[in-house]
Amino acid sequence: MNIKKSKHNCLIIIILSVLSCAIFLCSCSFGFNFTDSNTKAENELVVHYLDVGQGDSIFIELPNSQTMLIDAGVSGLGEGIVSYINDCGYSKINYLVATHPHADHIGSMAYVVKNIDVGEIYMPKVSTTTRTYEKLLTAISDKGLKIKSAHSGMSIADESDFSIDVLGPVTIDEDSLNNCSVLLKITHHNNKFLFIGDAEKQELSTINADLSADVLKVGHHGSRTSTTEDLLERVDPSIAVISLGKDNDYGHPHKSTINLLNEFDVTTYRTDEDGTIIVTSDGSDITTQTGGKSIEREE
């Protein structure tokens, strides 16, 4: 009787062990799929506002499985940005945009150009003399690529289910690189995303195009020089994302920006508090996920 009972117990233990092994393997495989390969559903648009500290870098999975990168943060982030794109299951950036040639937007772009396949490159028609900018130009020409000058009225993509339009710059302000920022609008059926780089109110006042959008990438890291009542009236966003570093030297985001966003009832996310922010559009609904992988700077 005792021997029978012990055999019975043994069998239960074996079954339980096999079951727990199976559950463990399943959860591993789910975890692997979730972090290391593309989980985008067909026809979705997924915008990753990467946490790159004080600066901007936005990776976009387009509905047709092409990709776009807007800006590449400060220097030392290139490896992290390229790994992030690879981990999403991509080996090419179809559209690379440098909104303007400041170091917190193009700092790691030369590395990106050198280390991943790049299709078209868009930049405003303005130059600067910094080493970061010159390194980027060299990386682009070494790869045999050409820069397209981005200006208002230009269309980057016009597909049946999405479009990418350039709304600015309208004019080039030689005295302010911020105010030469490339402004982009991505339309995915009913949902619109607006990206305004570091454009300040001077540039924004020159834009006659329709700025309305559901999701606004807040200009200039939350500076009061970009977010005004007039802008929020024109954009009328339901979601705003601010890209900035913790305890930055500029006092970003400015209090008045946060107050205005609250006044306009905009749900606001910020990379210094929320990490990488992932916003997904299925064409009608928008979902937001916070706490995505931050991009660490190489020493």
Using CB under 5 A, list all residues that contact Zn ion: 104, 198
| Beta-ladder partners of 279 | 47, 288
Q: Which lies closer to Zn ion via its Cβ, residue 52 or residue 166? A: 52
CB of 80 to Zn ion, least distance (A): 18
Would the CA dihedral through 101, 104, 110, 115 be positive or negative? negative
Which C-beta is closer to Zn ion: that of 62 or that of 72? 72
- Dihedral through CA 122, CA 127, CA 129, CA 133, nearest 10? 0
CA angle, 227 as apex, 47 and 290 as ends, to 5°? 30
Contact 92, 282 (CB under 8 A): no
Minimum distance, C-beta of residue 56 to Zn ion, in the bound complex (Å): 6
Residues 6+ apart with CB under 8 A from 41: 282
Minimal distance, residue 211 CB to Zn ion, in Å: 20
Q: Which is nearer to Zn ion, 177 or 211 (CB)?
A: 177
Smallest gap from Cβ 240 to Zn ion, in A, equals 16
Count of C-beta atoms within a 10 Å radius of residue 152: 17
Phi first, then psi: give them for residue 79, nearest 5 degrees: -60, -40
Nearer to Zn ion, 191 or 227 (CB): 227
Q: How far is the CB of 178 from Zn ion (least distance, A)?
A: 7
- Measured between alpha carbons, how far is residue 295 from residues 65, 106, 202, 268, 276 in Å? 23, 15, 32, 21, 8
* Of 46 and 184, CB closest to Zn ion: 184
